[in-house]
Amino acid sequence: MNNYIQNLIDEIDTNDQICTYKIISAFEKKIKKQLTKYNYKTGFEDYTLNCLDYIILYYIWKNCNVPIDIEDILVIMYSFYKLEEFYFDNDVFNIKHSLYIINNSNINFLIINIMYILNE
């Protein structure tokens, strides 16, 4: 991971008193385990975060207008653009709060802005 990404993660960790990498790693392991339930793998190759995803994660964390935790951001990112036709199991992922955030915050606006900028 480059220094720029590390600085972003350090800011999240310091502010929220968490270990972002551990949360992301645990989330990616849950995703990988869930992927074994599918007979087809098309669209699932991108289940780990890349550098751009870390920047997007930070941008959402920094600019969301409601309190949000890292796993909520990950659920929303993965459902919005990371994985195609992946269904989050309610027994494995806490999506109830993620749905609240989608309906009661500016997160859709933030992600659409990011996608717009990336496609310019």
pLDDT per residue, tens digit, the chain (120 aa), is 699 999 999 999 999 999 999 999 999 998 888 877 766 665 556 678 999 999 999 999 999 999 999 999 999 988 887 666 666 777 888 888 888 999 999 999 999 999 888 887
Q: What is the pLDDT of residue 118?
A: 82
> Which segments of 17-87 does DSSP mark as H helices, in order?
20-35, 51-63, 70-77
pLDDT of residue 45: 64
Number of domains in the chain: 1
Compute how many other C-beta atoms are within 10 angstroms of the C-beta atom of residue 77: 19
Rounded to whole angstroms, how far apart are CA atoms 66 and 91? 24
Domain that includes residue 10, residue range? 3-118
Q: 26: left (phi > 0), else alpha (psi -120 to 50), else beta?
A: alpha
Calculate the alpha carbon distances from 108 to 16, 34, 102 in Å: 22, 25, 7
Q: What pLDDT score does 95 carry? A: 82
